[in-house]
Amino acid sequence: MVIQKVGVIGAGQMGNGIAHVCALNGFQVLLSDIDEARVKAALDVIEGNLRRQVSRGHIKDEDLERTLRNITPTVGLDAFGEVDFAIEAASEDEAVKKSIFRALCPKLKPDALIASNTSSISITRLASTTDRPERFMGMHFMNPVPVMQLVELIRGIATGEDTFQTVREMTVKLGKTPANAEDFPAFIVNRILLPMINEAVYTLYEGVGTVEAIDTAMRLGANHPMGPLQLADFIGLDVCLSVMQVLYDGLADSKYRPCPLLVKYVEAGWLGRKVKRGFYDYRGEVPVPTR
């Protein structure tokens, strides 16, 4: 199957990044959300990120203009009858994703493919909600999508070989490197990364070090580009907690138990950069540790 038109469901941080790279690499993109204001905000973010790429010499002015022309904003799913490939990039909530797929499938043409950008949820379970599990798979982009090179490709138990090969070829056309992952909780990257972040939160919770000390230790002692608590704020503490809960529930191992302090921050609504407070307070000119 040849993919020419891509529909992206969800215009948040991941969705607008996926729309950005698809449109930049020549695909026609339908970018959808439930609210017109969200789609407009996403287009503003995409344009800003494209201008940043131009200023750094990564793309030309004409690439920016062409990319924006390739993106069509829409509200809801009614226009998805024309897409060859639908990519769901909604919040990391299984019930939300399943409800989207139930609404989406009647809109799609029979041979259209579907992917979920889930970072942790079972592809087999999500696919079972659809009318085409053989045409469904996981396509987990890394954040920020325009910058990060990896895409995890995950087959559910019913995913067809043609579907996998088509999506893999598209991943390469996007200039990304595919990595095949089995359909186990959190796949590869988050299976390794999120327990490290959770352990950093435990280290803070138990008073072994402050936010600043922990992040400095990992930046300078392990040569990480950013500390684990700073990274957690960037990812979103709600997303971190969701992935840890998927790991804990799916693997039934106490080593994946979410740290109570992570739970407390999420309950407080301190979700990281997107709300300007998490392990750091971002409301001033310089981020300040909150513990």
pLDDT tens by residue, 242-285: 999 999 999 999 999 999 999 999 999 999 999 999 999 999 99
Nearest to 9 by CA among 61, 76, 63: 76
Q: What is the mean pLDDT of the chain?
A: 97
Q: Work out the angle between the directed axes of helices 13-24 and 36-55 (0-180°, nearest 10).
A: 50
Question: Are 171 and 202 part of one and the same domain?
Answer: no
**pTM of the shown model:** 0.91
**Helix ranges (DSSP H) in 128-276:** 161-173, 189-205, 211-221, 228-235, 237-251, 260-267
Q: Write out the two tokens for 245.
A: 């809960």
Question: Are 112 and 220 part of one and the same domain?
Answer: no
pLDDT of residue 195: 97
Per-residue model confidence as pLDDT tens digits over 141-176: 999 999 999 999 999 999 999 999 999 999 999 999
Question: Are 171 and 219 part of one and the same domain?
Answer: no
Nearest to 227 by CA among 243, 207, 242, 211: 211
pLDDT at 63 over 90: yes
Residue 287 falls inside a structural domain: no
- In a 13 Å sphere around the CA of 209, the CA atoms on its Cβ side amount to 16
Question: Are 175 and 122 part of one and the same domain?
Answer: yes
Per-residue model confidence as pLDDT tens digits over 215-237: 999 999 999 999 999 999 999 99
Question: Are 87 and 113 part of one and the same domain?
Answer: yes
Nearest to 117 by CA among 200, 213, 194, 16: 16
Question: Are 176 and 215 part of one and the same domain?
Answer: no
Per-residue model confidence as pLDDT tens digits over 20-48: 999 999 999 999 999 999 999 999 999 99
Rounded CA-CA distance 13/153 in Å is 20
Residue 289 falls inside a structural domain: no
Last residue of a domain, one of 181, 208, 236: 181
Question: Are 175 and 240 part of one and the same domain?
Answer: no
Which residues carry out catalysis? Answer: 119, 140, 152, 190
Last residue of a domain, one of 119, 148, 181: 181
Residue 290 falls inside a structural domain: no
Domain with 21 in it: what CATH number? Answer: 3.40.50.720
Predicted confidence band of residue 1 (pLDDT cuts 50, 70, 90): confident
Question: Are 67 and 177 part of one and the same domain?
Answer: yes
Question: Are 198 and 177 part of one and the same domain?
Answer: no
pLDDT at 3 over 90: yes
CB 229 within 8 A of CB 204: yes
| DSSP reduced 3-state for 71 | strand
Last residue of a domain, one of 126, 150, 181: 181
Residue 288 falls inside a structural domain: no
Residue 214 falls inside a structural domain: yes
Question: Are 219 and 111 part of one and the same domain?
Answer: no
Q: Structural domain tally of the chain?
A: 2
Question: Are 13 and 97 part of one and the same domain?
Answer: yes
Portion of the chain with pLDDT greater than 70, in percent: 100
Nearest to 266 by CA among 233, 230, 289: 233
CB 102 within 8 A of CB 22: no
Residue 270 falls inside a structural domain: yes
Domain with 242 in it: what CATH number? Answer: 1.10.1040.10
pLDDT of residue 194: 97
pLDDT of residue 118: 96
Question: Are 104 and 245 part of one and the same domain?
Answer: no
Q: Which domain holds residue 74?
A: 5-181
